[in-house]
Structure 1
Amino acid sequence: MKNLFIAIIALVFSPILSAQEDYSPYHEKIEFEKEPKNENLTESDTSSYGIHLIDRTVVDMYYDQERKGGLMEYRTYHKKIKLTTNRSIKQNNKVYFNLNNAVDLVEAKARVIKSDNSIINLNPDDIKEAENFEEYGRFKYFAFEGIELGADIEYIYTIKRNPDYNGNRFLLQGEAERNNVEFILIAPSNLYFDFVSLNGFPEVIRDTNDTTVNFYSAQVDKMSRLESEDYSSYTTSRQGVMYKLDYNGASGSKNLVSYTQAAQNIHVNMHYNVSSADLKSLSSLSKKLKISKMDTEDKLRHMEKFIKSNLNSVDQSGEDLESISKILENKNCNNSGLMKVYVNWIENEGIEYELCLGTERDEFPFEKDFEIYNCLGDYFFYFPEIDKYMVPDYWGYRLGYLPPSYTENYALFMKEVTLGDFTTYMSRVKWVKPSSKDITYTNLDMNVDLGDSFDKTEVSFVKTAAGHEAAIFQASYESLSQEQLKNLEPVFLAFFNDEEKVITQSFENTNPLDVFQKPFVINATLDYPNLVQKAGPKYLVSVGKIIGPQSELYQEKKRELDIELDYNHGYLRDIDVQIPEGYRITNLKDLVFDKSVEIDGEKKMIFTSNYKLEGNTLKISVNEYYDALHLPKSRYDEFKSVINAAADFNKVVLVFEKG
């Protein structure tokens, strides 16, 4: 998809591509200081990742005569970092060069400036390959030698690559303090760019005195560090900048990057080279699956199950991987071919649909006003007739709801329209609401049998999970081996240590067709050997642990980021404890919790627990839910009280005495 956008945008200004007179690559002007002095700074915070003394990013676009005047880009990074702690040494002992989408590594040099001002220069021959580094693709790296506390490391590297003029983002703030932060974008004099600064980064300014190129820059003398915090959106809170090409002064073309144009391009792509034979093969498949008489929802569920159970998507190119007939024959496709199967099969069945493109909000919130193609990364479908969504390439999800990160976010919705003889997608940006707490829940109905005199520690329960907390299990259950199912027992059964023994277990609603239709149900009886401890004449029962491990927040530093949850969800737990004859519980009040967060007068986050005695049965009820995804950092203490109430309940130990 991205390549299609690039090709079409290239057509907009390719007729005017020409040589730049006296073009001089900017990276050739970036040099190490000839007689550097080690910066004698101190940093007492042992969590520091060091201090960036120089942090410069340069994007230099130019017309490349070796590529027939095509637009290319040099991207240069210049960093100088003070190593203040052992952690900063570990973090910076290697410098990785990201070569994904790179044509060439043009230059790379690095050095160590020790505390006594002696210098260790790294040899370019020391650059090593790091194929598929942590599954992120192609990288090269320098490994520093001779680094020590107090040393400065400095490096400059430049890569040549295809330009990201249809939209890009640089995040320039991180966990280390940064000084002399500079962002520069240089473009030929006929190409004008738009910018958006993020989270307090200064406005990017064009230097109007330079008429040979369009020179844009922004600088920060000192940028504070930003550390990740639990229950936050760290990536989207960092300072940085977005940009895109907006105007070609030579051709007069404006608004070169738009969602309207993207939608039209995508429609062409979805129907490119789709033949009558392809549509016939889809009709034959429908007949084989006997879906013609099903209602729309059942039809879609069976179509989705077939595709996700039978087609293998690979990251390769090739005609057979994009031909619908060949895909159905060989069961192999690439992402483009996969989408063509979905779209054309849905159309062939006469189902009304909207094809959507969005982003994961915790990584790149959708930009509804600043239209860039970075926001068009994740496909999904919306079906108006049944008001449900489908994610085509997310194997763990099925028709119904979207992965949480796609929601609480905008997305581009594209609907097919015909105007005369012309058929295309008409697009609009819409808000995608998150699912409510009633959709995603995990409920427990438990019975604790302690025997006649604490000689048993059996817990029988029914665990009912639905929504996002059940989808992956239901989608994958039938494909798992017995060994894999065994390994998942701690997740399924809420173990609180490694010593539980499964006495009986059974599972219900384990078909992919049950996802978002029926809850995933587990019936089990476990022996918890460490549930009871004897302390003299008393017995101590760790009843809180049987609900499973709980998160807890004990952050001592001032909260810096707003609170964000992945999805709305809830938990109901009913626990019956059978009290052995002749015993009583002396600390029942420890079971009582009542913490909540109100928004506009309504309780949106709560943890409450209480109890009652019915004969020899102690009945404990626990209600916990989160029905809001965001809170300002000013309300962190309230949020923390709810989270920690669950963790504190988890620590409750009931004391049994004779009486």
Structure 2
Amino acid sequence: MRTFLSTLLLIFISFSASAQLYKSHNWVEDQEFYELTAAEQEESSIAIMEKYLIQYYQPVLKKSFRLFETKHSIIRINTDKGIKNHNRVYIPMRNVKQVIDIKARVTQSNGEVNYLDKNNIKELENVKNAGGYKIFAIEGVTTNSQLEIIYTLENNTINLGSVVVQKDYPVKEAIVIIRKPRVLKYRVKGYNGFPSMQTEKVAGKKEALTATINNIDGMTDEKSASPTANRMKVSYQVAMGIPSDAVMWARLEANIKTNYIDIRPRRHHALINDYKTFVETKSKDNSAEIINNICEYITTTYNVVRTPSKELFQLKHIFAQKQATERGIIRLYTCLLNSESIDYEFVLTSDRFKHKFDATFFSQSNLQTPLLFFKDENKYVEPEDINARLNFPPTETIGNQGLFISANGRRFSRIETPNVEDNVIQRDYSISVDPENLVTMVNCNQINTGYRATSARGAYKYLKTKDINQFKSFTAANGIEDAEFLTFNVENERLSLAANNTPIRFDYSYEAESLIDEVNEDIMLNFGKVVGTQNELYQESERVNPIELNSLITYKYTFSIPIPEGYEAKGLDDIVIHKTVDIKNEIACQFISNYTISNNVITINAIESYDRLTMPLDYYDTYKDVVNAAYDFSKKSILFKKI
């Protein structure tokens, strides 16, 4: 998702900076081929140096400032994985006014050097809605080679920024330099171990802020974690005057009110009349229904354009063209909400997997996700979602703080995490075995609530007219390739039912031969396979990140399995599993399964739940045991032995 602040009007006044550091920065012509220790050679790649030069520069006799960014990297490539990670270079072009220079070379251990052919530099437009990129590859990137890259960009002059110094690979030395005229003030804040920056006066009424960090471990991309948010980085503010955080938040509040909240519907008659015609026959008995009517009108009538457009920010053009920018679509919502006198708060927060919202330091990283909050319903609308309805907040925002702005003021508040009971998958199975034809019949009643209901509704809406078989397989028989569906019914599929967390229901039946293995005269029923493909956690290296989950969730499974006539069941004790993680005498997560036999019918009950959004690193091993217990359960079988 795009950073919301980057599309707002500038909150600070434009400013401007003095002698160009980047012009004096270059590589050494006869660069040494760095020696590595035995441990460093075990890494797929390792940065000898990563240097970041950020310079605010003021040309002579000019009032405005210019902003230059130089990046200089020297990286040793040790393995094929290292080659794959570094042989193609992407340089983001968002906010770039011009490219000053790009140069790169590869040095071999024998001294041979290959230089970048600048004719090979290509341009990609709007990659994954993140803006354009310069992309290039250079020849000679092999194992035991050394890659060096320097590029300088002139960026649009902004006064907020961040530098992430921790990479996926180790960095022996990282250097961050912010150079500016002394007339410009600054604030910096480091995260995740970034050290204090030192200030040094420089000739010409300039000063440089510098930090050098040695031996930064590579960040491991681990499951059930937020490695991007946990990377070492520094955020900075540079301006003619640095207001307090309270003043900066107040300016943002004023901007949001002016551009979004204070929209007067009576100025947009055509839009309001079109909306009223759309909802004329729809129920409007309460505010939740009205909010969902607005959502349905917008998501079915307008398209979101993922590229900047001043025109498609204006409501009259949005209405005429039936499309809007990401910012423009929010204005549609607030205009229609105002027309219906619905109270709401405009929320700005961050993706917690990328950055933890920090109310004590105003930065772009805080402002990645806009939401609309409705206090009376205690629910949210995500305006940029193509299936937006009144619902729980997006999973990437829960547990994070946010800035809540209304017509009456602003507040900081945590975005509540839905309870574990609100996000459930429950499946009641009846599984019968046909020993003669070696086929299994599976019947299931399934309900999804919470986030799992929302994702199922969205998938059903999309796939029911494109490939309903794909939806059936994914929902009911994931991992069972030979499943032949006999019935499949869906109830409560309407997107608006999320407002009250009404479960979506699935009733289905299918036959499958792959659930049975013949063992001489005996039969092995692979009953655990029907729950679908499960995650398995393994850790080849020491765990780095604490545990952070996508959401709280409960899975409930019940199996009713008649024992075929002429057979007896064996190996049932292996079904009994009891794995829990307790933190401060409360269950943090669990997997528990057991069985009973009555009237020749085996009944198996299993519950898997994750009751805490985050857990300290110390609990990883026991958390892993719970996850792997669920995986093991999906492999469980019952042996029906011929009597």
Report deviation, 1:157.
0.5
Whether 1:466 aligns to 2:449 is yes
Structure 2 counterpart of 1:270: 260
Q: Percent identity?
A: 24
TM-score by length of 2: 0.93
Q: 2:184 aligns with which of 176, 181, 191?
A: 191
Report deviation, 1:130.
3.5
Structure 2 counterpart of 1:383: 374
State the one-letter code of the partner of 1:95: V
Whether 1:523 aligns to 2:523 is no
Report deviation, 1:335.
2.4
State the one-letter code of the partner of 2:12: I
Aligned equivalents of 1:597, 1:254: Cα separation in 2: 43
Whether 1:617 aligns to 2:601 is yes
Pairing 1:163-202 to 2, within 5 Å after superposition: 163-165=157-159, 167-202=160-195
- SS of the residue aligned with 2:430? strand
Aligned equivalents of 2:433, 2:7: Cα separation in 1: 66
Q: 1:581 to 1:599 in 2, by over 3 A?
A: same
State the one-letter code of the partner of 1:130: L
Pairing 1:474-485 to 2, within 5 Å after superposition: 474-475=457-458, 477-485=460-468
Report deviation, 1:444.
0.5
Aligned length: 638
Aligned equivalents of 1:306, 1:611: Cα separation in 2: 50
Structure 1 counterpart of 2:197: 204
Structure 2 counterpart of 1:244: 237
Report deviation, 1:133.
4.6
Structure 2 counterpart of 1:488: 471
Question: Does structure 2 retain, via aligned residues, the 8 Å contact 1:396–1:471?
Answer: no
- SS of the residue aligned with 1:470? helix
Q: 1:410 aligns with which of 365, 387, 401?
A: 401
State the one-letter code of the partner of 1:223: I
Question: Does structure 1 retain, via aligned residues, the 8 Å contact 2:299–2:388?
Answer: no
Structure 2 counterpart of 1:123: 117
Whether 1:213 aligns to 2:202 is no
Structure 2 counterpart of 1:282: 272
Structure 2 counterpart of 1:507: 490
Question: Does structure 2 retain, via aligned residues, the 8 Å contact 1:283–1:348?
Answer: no
Structure 2 counterpart of 1:498: 481
Tell me which stretches of 4 or more aligned residues in structure 1 moved more than 6 Å.
44-47
TM-score by length of 1: 0.91
Q: How big is each residue's C-alpha offset from its partner over 1:367-425, in whole Å with a ceiling of 9 and x where there is no partner?
A: 111122431221111112222222111224420211111110000001103xxxxxxxx
Aligned equivalents of 2:370, 2:145: Cα separation in 1: 47
State the one-letter code of the partner of 2:450: G
Deviates more, 1:320-329 or 1:88-97: 320-329
Q: How big is each residue's C-alpha offset from its partner over 1:86-143, in whole Å with a ceiling of 9 and x where there is no partner?
A: 2112221122222222111101111121111232233333433334456643222332
State the one-letter code of the partner of 2:240: N
Structure 1 counterpart of 2:348: 357
Aligned equivalents of 2:67, 2:36: Cα separation in 1: 36
Q: 1:585 aligns with which of 569, 576, 598?
A: 569
Aligned equivalents of 1:622, 1:483: Cα separation in 2: 34
Aligned equivalents of 2:21, 2:294: Cα separation in 1: 54
Whether 1:346 aligns to 2:337 is yes
Unaligned runs of 5+ in 2: none
Q: How big is each residue's C-alpha offset from its partner over 1:594-619, in whole Å with a ceiling of 9 and x where there is no partner?
A: 00011211222110000001112110
Aligned equivalents of 1:405, 1:271: Cα separation in 2: 24
Structure 1 counterpart of 2:26: 31
Question: Does structure 2 retain, via aligned residues, the 8 Å contact 1:244–1:257?
Answer: no
Deviates more, 1:636-645 or 1:121-130: 121-130
Unaligned runs of 5+ in 1: 418-425
Structure 1 counterpart of 2:47: 52
Q: 1:132 to 1:324 in 2, by over 3 A?
A: closer
Aligned equivalents of 2:291, 2:412: Cα separation in 1: 24
Question: Does structure 1 retain, via aligned residues, the 8 Å contact 2:463–2:471?
Answer: no
Deviates more, 1:312-321 or 1:177-186: 312-321
Structure 2 counterpart of 1:421: none
Q: 1:306 aligns with which of 297, 305, 312?
A: 297
State the one-letter code of the partner of 1:79: S
Aligned equivalents of 1:329, 1:130: Cα separation in 2: 31
Whether 1:260 aligns to 2:244 is no
Question: Does structure 1 retain, via aligned residues, the 8 Å contact 2:100–2:152?
Answer: yes
Aligned equivalents of 2:247, 2:7: Cα separation in 1: 13
Q: How big is each residue's C-alpha offset from its partner over 1:225-264, in whole Å with a ceiling of 9 and x where there is no partner?
A: 221111111101111111123x636xx8665971111010
Report deviation, 1:222.
1.9
Q: 1:135 to 1:285 in 2, by over 3 A?
A: closer
Q: How big is each residue's C-alpha offset from its partner over 1:123-182, in whole Å with a ceiling of 9 and x where there is no partner?
A: 3334333344566432223322123322211111101111331x3222111121111210
Whether 1:296 aligns to 2:301 is no
Aligned equivalents of 2:529, 2:291: Cα separation in 1: 42
State the one-letter code of the partner of 1:403: P
Report deviation, 1:536.
1.1
Q: How big is each residue's C-alpha offset from its partner over 1:566-607, in whole Å with a ceiling of 9 and x where there is no partner?
A: 100001100111111121111110110000011211222110
Question: Does structure 1 retain, via aligned residues, the 8 Å contact 2:263–2:338?
Answer: no
Question: Does structure 2 retain, via aligned residues, the 8 Å contact 1:442–1:463?
Answer: yes
Structure 2 counterpart of 1:451: 434
Question: Does structure 2 retain, via aligned residues, the 8 Å contact 1:397–1:475?
Answer: no
Question: Does structure 1 retain, via aligned residues, the 8 Å contact 2:265–2:339?
Answer: no
State the one-letter code of the partner of 1:61: Y
Q: 1:561 to 1:262 in 2, by over 3 A?
A: same
Structure 2 counterpart of 1:574: 558
- SS of the residue aligned with 1:611? strand
Q: 1:400 aligns with which of 391, 406, 409?
A: 391
Aligned equivalents of 2:438, 2:214: Cα separation in 1: 69
- SS of the residue aligned with 1:363? coil
Q: 1:45 to 1:156 in 2, by over 3 A?
A: closer
Q: How big is each residue's C-alpha offset from its partner over 1:289-316, in whole Å with a ceiling of 9 and x where there is no partner?
A: 1369521111111111111122112135
Whether 1:70 aligns to 2:61 is no
Question: Does structure 2 retain, via aligned residues, the 8 Å contact 1:397–1:471?
Answer: no
Structure 2 counterpart of 1:422: none
Whether 1:141 aligns to 2:135 is yes
Deviates more, 1:408-417 or 1:132-141: 132-141
Question: Does structure 2 retain, via aligned residues, the 8 Å contact 1:598–1:605?
Answer: yes
- SS of the residue aligned with 1:149? coil
Question: Does structure 2 retain, via aligned residues, the 8 Å contact 1:200–1:239?
Answer: yes
Deviates more, 1:306-315 or 1:446-455: 446-455
- SS of the residue aligned with 1:404? coil
Question: Does structure 2 retain, via aligned residues, the 8 Å contact 1:586–1:657?
Answer: yes
Whether 1:10 aligns to 2:49 is no
State the one-letter code of the partner of 1:7: L
Aligned equivalents of 2:311, 2:217: Cα separation in 1: 52
Question: Does structure 2 retain, via aligned residues, the 8 Å contact 1:206–1:216?
Answer: yes
Aligned equivalents of 1:279, 1:182: Cα separation in 2: 56
Question: Does structure 1 retain, via aligned residues, the 8 Å contact 2:261–2:407?
Answer: no
Question: Does structure 2 retain, via aligned residues, the 8 Å contact 1:474–1:515?
Answer: no
Report deviation, 1:76.
0.6
Whether 1:82 aligns to 2:65 is no
Structure 2 counterpart of 1:161: 155
Question: Does structure 1 retain, via aligned residues, the 8 Å contact 2:117–2:138?
Answer: no
- SS of the residue aligned with 1:385? coil
Aligned equivalents of 1:204, 1:488: Cα separation in 2: 53
State the one-letter code of the partner of 1:363: K
